[in-house]
Amino acid sequence: MQREGQIRIPSGCAISGIINKSGKRMSGEAIIKSIAVMHDRSNGLGGGFAAYGIYPEYKDYYALHIFYDSPYAKKECEEFIERHFDIINLSKIPTRKIKEITDEPLIWRYFVIPLHTKLYESQLEERDFTEKCVFRINTRIDGAYVFSSGKNMGVFKAVGFPEDVGRFYRLDEYEGFSFTAHGRYPTNTPGWWGGAHPFALLDYSVVHNGEISSYDANRRAIEMYGYKCTLQTDTEVITYIIDYLNRKKKLTFNEIASVIAAPFWQTIERMPNEEKELHEYLRIVFAEQLITGPFSIIVAFDGGLMALNDRLKLRSMVVGEKDDTTYIASEEAAIRIIEPDLDTVWSPKGGEPVIIRVTGGEAKCR
Amino acid sequence: MPINYIYPDYEIIRNPDRCITCRVCERQCANQVHEYIADVDKLSCDDSKCVNCHRCVSLCPTRALKIKRSESTYKENSNWSVKTINELYRQAGSGGVLLSSMGNPENYPIYFDKILLNASQVTNPSIDPLREPMETKVFLGTKPKQIDRNENGSIINNLPPLLRLTMPVMFSAMSYGSISYNAHESLARAAAELGIMYNTGEGGLHEDFIKYGKNTIVQVASGRFGVNPEYLNSGAAIEIKMGQGAKPGIGGHLPGTKIVGDISRTRMIPEHSDAISPAPHHDIYSIEDLRQLVYSLKEATRYQKPVIVKIAAVHNISAIASGIARSGADIIAIDGYRGGTGAAPTRIRDNVGIPIELALASVDERLRQEGIRNNVSIIVGGSIRSSADIVRAIALGADCVYIGTAALLALGCHLCRSCHGGKCNWGIATQEANLVKRLNPEIGYKRLVNLMLAWRHEIKEMMGGMGINSIESLKGNRLMLRGVGLNEKELEILGIKHAGE
């Protein structure tokens, strides 16, 4: 069977997210409980988590999480990493043997920083350099796949139900200020671990439920700016769009929401002049980054997260708040299981972003 | 002279039981096919003059007339067709170049007919355009290179001039001269009502139509007829015509007999002088010269108008388009080999150029590979026949399409392909006052509006079926297309998969 990247595989899903605005760290146990409630929204062919604030002792280093199909791939990849980065620490990612999760690849973690000389030669900024190296590994080194490359954050994913994936990666032993989770319901898959979600690039990670109808328009547009959509999944292209708009075009997350889930022209017509001009500008300039078709996404980044629905709200998504913690999930039950006593709970409108920023603790606010 | 004799292509069949000798056919036929014979109180006809335009058939009150392909034939020969033999006889008789009108009618592959569209099932919902907003608005022009912000951090509006359209269709260039005043008025009024554009072609802009300027593209062609500062500033955009799909590499020739009255004044040339557009622009012998003309026109209009460069689809189209995308042009219009014309040498029309589907696919892909796709918008024409062709073109990567023949059909054209004769019985491709008045612009513009609204609705239905509710998400979305009966190479160039994949 063909893997993600060789064929396009549609999938339905469950998503969940938790963030503490004060930057207080919590264990990964809650997010596992939350996503487990939505067991029936996944089919055991993919689950995963993104956790922020988990590596405070290495917060200045890029944490590369890598799957290897073979020791040869590992050897080749490590040689590449050594040529381009200073490796501060490396280890196997600790896992728990459980019967639900099988056929695991070699799973390694490296804390790295670009080599000064290489960085200088490349004339790139540090993050651009790291991004380029990640693309190089994923497209050129057969059997090696970087699935997490941010600072002070990490993605943990596998083929299986998400709650089993959480236990497998011992997520309950990590502490972070924000977590997102994904349970996957692909219509067909060979069960490749790299194809599970979240999808991440640098410190951006995306969990997504939906099937976007604009996929190939988005893909062909973003590939023009040096991104390579190797997995052919919606989540991958959404992540690149967000990286492009935020990191390269310096748009704010509110502006990004207005690009990817743009208000309808008839809504823009009714806006006050200044707002109308801005929205018209964003729709014209970033027309190719408009995403149509059903989606609910949680974008996590260094310093916060954004939850967003497509402009027709064709997928469910609920937000709840309790003190300084915000919960987001495909279903309200997935929030109630971890916090039955919410201050508020609501369903954001289509195209209306919910942006949460962390103001204290380990996270930097940008 | 029996050696010269060519049996007529068509046979006019008159049902004598139905004919009431009202003589409508006789009055309506500018080719003088029908004749009343008073002695016998009957109408007779000369088939040899018939161009099969269906004017008499359409107006006969008793449906007494029909036109059939004549059955007389030469000895059958797969290699020497009747058409080929007749054309050869004509040339042996006259020593002249054969002339034809409208688009290439020959039996080449039509790729649009081998591409099928997608629709949503189960994994994502289709969208009903009667219930939900379905957006077809498009903007043509270059995109800003960077985002600028003021001291408060707000985005500064640095948009270059754009064409704003309610749907991705425009009426393509047809000059006043090649078509009639009433045809132009119909196109201009329809464009204004629809919020789209019509195009003056190379015949200048009639003073009566300056008021439709917001919906007008003014053309600058190699003859520079009718070009002056007021003309350039009257339109919403300026189009430099480098080529035309029906006759790539060939200029134009409007015979002096048509250069009368308003046409001579609008073209700014003396009456009865031939209007000859040279094959190349004599100030453009290379790409760097094109850049100079683009910027001259921008200077003349104070950088307020987008500039379109129109080219015919020829073999090296993607490299040419790439050059144009770096020349300062805002929009590239590509005209396929099926594109129409008021008159072109037959051999050129039928043998030069490439299909628009392949040209579009390779240009869009090439500009993306070079990272310059957003320097320009792409318009394609020649030949777009239905809303489904538009959807296919947009999904292959076009921003917008041009329609010419389809618009003329809406005005009554029956595709008899005799425009070069100047005796259009439908009042479109003629300057004879008694024929021109047969096209009522009041009715003509409404029929154009009807056609476009019908197509827009169909586009929305097809988009909705795919789960797409804005046209920009269809642009270049080639996964929405599948080929049927295409070979590997064709699929590769089109950048689409085969049905079933």
Does residue A290 belong to the interface with chain B, where contact is any CB pair within 8 Å? yes
Identify which of B371, B299, B359, B362 has the alpha carbon closest to the alpha carbon of residue B328: B299
**Partners of residue A229 in chain B, C-beta under 8 Å:** none
B233, pLDDT greater than 70? yes
**Residue A12 binned pLDDT confidence (cut-offs 50, 70, 90):** low
Q: In chain A, whose CA is at the least distance from the CA of B118? A: A213
d(CA B202, CA A310): 46
Give the gap in angstroms from C-alpha B230 to the nearest C-alpha of chain A: 29
Helix, strand or coil, per DSSP, at residue B216: strand
Give the gap in angstroms from C-alpha A281 to the nearest C-alpha of chain B: 7
- Across the interface, whether the CB atoms of A216 and B477 are under 8 A apart is answered yes
The partner residue sitting opposite B473, judged by closest CB among A214, A265, A281, is A214
**Residue A179 binned pLDDT confidence (cut-offs 50, 70, 90):** very high
Please give the single-letter amino acid code of residue B265. Answer: R
User: What local confidence, expressed as pLDDT, does residue A218 receive?
Assistant: 97
Give the gap in angstroms from C-alpha B330 to the nearest C-alpha of chain A: 14
A96-105 pLDDT, tens digit per residue, is 999 999 999 9
pLDDT > 70: percent of chain B: 100
Q: Packing angle between helix A253-260 and helix A273-285, nearest 10 degrees?
A: 70
* CA-based max dimension of chain B: 92
Mutate to test the interface with B, among A214, A218, A291 (most CBs of B within 10 A): A214
- Across the interface, whether the CB atoms of A210 and B124 are under 8 A apart is answered yes
Does residue A12 belong to the interface with chain B, where contact is any CB pair within 8 Å? yes
B304-329 pLDDT, tens digit per residue, is 999 999 999 999 999 999 999 999 99
Residues in chain B: 501
**Partners of residue B501 in chain A, C-beta under 8 Å:** none
A365, pLDDT greater than 60? no
- Across the interface, whether the CB atoms of B472 and A217 are under 8 A apart is answered yes
Torsion of CA A167, A168, A169, A175, to 10 degrees: 10
Torsion of CA B491, B492, B496, B498, to 10 degrees: 40
Mutate to test the interface with A, among B394, B477, B480 (most CBs of A within 10 A): B477
Which comes out higher in pLDDT, residue B258 or A163?
A163
- Across the interface, whether the CB atoms of B467 and A293 are under 8 A apart is answered yes
Give me the residues paired with residue A182 across strands: A15, A48
**Partners of residue A220 in chain B, C-beta under 8 Å:** 368, 476-478
User: H or E stretch including B226?
Assistant: none
| For chain B, domain boundaries | 10-96, 164-248+283-473
A274-313 pLDDT, tens digit per residue, is 999 999 999 999 999 999 999 999 999 988 999 999 999 9
Give the gap in angstroms from C-alpha B185 to the nearest C-alpha of chain A: 30
Give the gap in angstroms from C-alpha A217 to the nearest C-alpha of chain B: 4
**Residue A190 binned pLDDT confidence (cut-offs 50, 70, 90):** low
The partner residue sitting opposite B123, judged by closest CB among A10, A224, A249, is A10
DSSP string, A283-347: HHHTGGG---S-EEEEEEETTEEEEEE-TT--S--EEEEETTEEEEESSTHHHHTT-SS-SEEE-
Mutate to test the interface with B, among A8, A185, A216 (most CBs of B within 10 A): A216
- Across the interface, whether the CB atoms of A8 and B479 are under 8 A apart is answered yes
Structure tokens at A79: 């040689």
Mean pLDDT throughout B10-24?
96
Does residue A309 belong to the interface with chain B, where contact is any CB pair within 8 Å? no
Residue recorded with tokens 């869009």: B364
Beta strands in B202-335 (DSSP E): 216-220, 237-241, 252-254, 275-277, 307-312, 331-335
The partner residue sitting opposite B132, judged by closest CB among A10, A287, A312, is A312
Instruction: Convert A17-44 to b/e letters by CB count within 10 Å (16 or more is b).
Output: bbbbbebbbbebebbbbbbbbbeebbbb
Q: Where are the alpha helices (DSSP H) in B53-210?
A: 55-59, 82-94, 181-194
> CB of B428 within 8 A of CB of B180?
yes
**Residue A188 binned pLDDT confidence (cut-offs 50, 70, 90):** low
- Across the interface, whether the CB atoms of A220 and B476 are under 8 A apart is answered yes
- Give the predicted TM-score (pTM) of the model: 0.94
Bridge-based pairing state of the strands A175-176 and A26-27: antiparallel
User: What local confidence, expressed as pLDDT, does residue A362 receive?
Assistant: 42
**Partners of residue A273 in chain B, C-beta under 8 Å:** none
Give the gap in angstroms from C-alpha B473 to the nearest C-alpha of chain A: 5
Beta strands in B141-292 (DSSP E): 163-165, 169-171, 198-199, 216-220, 237-241, 252-254, 275-277
Mean pLDDT throughout B216-223?
96
Q: In chain B, whose CA is at the least distance from the CA of A246? A: B147
User: What local confidence, expressed as pLDDT, does residue A256 receive?
Assistant: 97
Lowest mean pLDDT of A157-166, A223-232, A349-358, B127-136, name the range: A223-232
- Specify burial of residue B279 (Cβ count, 10 A radius: 0-12, 13-18, 19+): middle
User: What local confidence, expressed as pLDDT, does residue A233 receive?
Assistant: 86
Q: Which long-range contacts (CB under 8 A, 24 or more apart) does B481-486 make?
A: B481/B115, B481/B116, B481/B117, B481/B118, B481/B392, B481/B395, B481/B396, B482/B115, B482/B116, B482/B118, B483/B114, B483/B115, B483/B116, B484/B114, B484/B115, B484/B116, B485/B114, B486/B111, B486/B114
B116-175 pLDDT, tens digit per residue, is 999 999 888 899 999 999 999 999 999 999 999 999 999 999 999 999 999 999 999 999
The partner residue sitting opposite A294, judged by closest CB among B125, B474, B480, is B125
User: What local confidence, expressed as pLDDT, does residue A189 receive?
Assistant: 57
Q: In chain B, whose CA is at the least distance from the CA of A8? A: B479
B496, pLDDT greater than 70? yes
B378-409 pLDDT, tens digit per residue, is 999 999 999 999 999 999 999 999 999 999 99
d(CA B258, CA B255): 6
- Across the interface, whether the CB atoms of A213 and B132 are under 8 A apart is answered no
- Specify burial of residue A200 (Cβ count, 10 A radius: 0-12, 13-18, 19+): buried
Please give the single-letter amino acid code of residue B309. Answer: V
> CB of B358 within 8 A of CB of B492?
no
**Partners of residue A284 in chain B, C-beta under 8 Å:** 139, 143, 159, 162
Identify which of A156, A124, A132 has the alpha carbon closest to the alpha carbon of residue A52: A156
**Partners of residue A278 in chain B, C-beta under 8 Å:** 154-155
Hey, what CATH topology would domain B10-96 get? Alpha-Beta Plaits (3.30.70)
Report angle CA B63, B69, B75 to the nearest 5 degrees.
Answer: 155
Q: In chain A, whose CA is at the least distance from the CA of B475? A: A217
**Residue B258 binned pLDDT confidence (cut-offs 50, 70, 90):** confident
- Across the interface, whether the CB atoms of A264 and B135 are under 8 A apart is answered yes
How many beta-carbon contacts under 8 Å exist across A and B?
103
User: What local confidence, expressed as pLDDT, does residue A361 receive?
Assistant: 47
- Across the interface, whether the CB atoms of A211 and B472 are under 8 A apart is answered no
The partner residue sitting opposite B124, judged by closest CB among A218, A282, A293, is A293
The partner residue sitting opposite A213, judged by closest CB among B144, B374, B467, is B467
Q: In chain A, whose CA is at the least distance from the CA of B396? A: A217
Does residue A270 belong to the interface with chain B, where contact is any CB pair within 8 Å? no
Give the ipTM of the model, two decimals please: 0.92
User: What local confidence, expressed as pLDDT, does residue A360 receive?
Assistant: 60
**Residue A187 binned pLDDT confidence (cut-offs 50, 70, 90):** low
**Residue A364 binned pLDDT confidence (cut-offs 50, 70, 90):** very low
A84, pLDDT greater than 70? yes
Q: Which residues of A are catalytic?
A: 13
Torsion of CA B362, B367, B373, B378, to 10 degrees: -40
The partner residue sitting opposite A187, judged by closest CB among B123, B135, B478, is B123
User: H or E stretch including B261?
Assistant: helix B261-267
Identify which of A204, A302, A298, A304 has the alpha carbon closest to the alpha carbon of residue A245: A204
Helices (H) and strands (E) in chain B, counts: 15, 21
- Across the interface, whether the CB atoms of A284 and B371 are under 8 A apart is answered no
Residue recorded with tokens 């790409």: B287
Lowest mean pLDDT of A183-192, B410-419, B476-485, name the range: A183-192
Mean pLDDT throughout B205-228?
96
Please give the single-letter amino acid code of residue B159. Answer: L
**Partners of residue B121 in chain A, C-beta under 8 Å:** none
Indicate left, alpha or beta for A228 from its phi (over 0: left) and psi (-120 to 50: alpha).
Answer: beta
B344-391 pLDDT, tens digit per residue, is 999 999 999 999 999 999 999 999 999 999 999 999 999 999 999 999
CATH number of B164-248+283-473: 3.20.20.70
What distance lies between CA B293 and its chain's CA centroid? 24
**Partners of residue B469 in chain A, C-beta under 8 Å:** 292, 311-312
Q: What is the mean pLDDT of chain B?
A: 95
Q: In chain B, whose CA is at the least distance from the CA of A6? A: B501
Give the gap in angstroms from C-alpha A296 to the nearest C-alpha of chain B: 13
Q: Edge to edge, what strands does the sheet with A204-210 contain?
A: A199-201, A204-210, A295-301, A304-309, A354-357
**Residue A232 binned pLDDT confidence (cut-offs 50, 70, 90):** confident
- Across the interface, whether the CB atoms of A293 and B468 are under 8 A apart is answered yes
A10, pLDDT greater than 90? no
d(CA A300, CA A320): 17
Mutate to test the interface with A, among B126, B369, B470 (most CBs of A within 10 A): B470
Does residue A263 belong to the interface with chain B, where contact is any CB pair within 8 Å? no
Q: Packing angle between helix A234-243 and helix A253-260, nearest 10 degrees?
A: 140
The partner residue sitting opposite B473, judged by closest CB among A213, A225, A266, is A213
User: What local confidence, expressed as pLDDT, does residue B71 receive?
Assistant: 86
Indicate left, alpha or beta for B474 from its phi (over 0: left) and psi (-120 to 50: alpha).
Answer: alpha
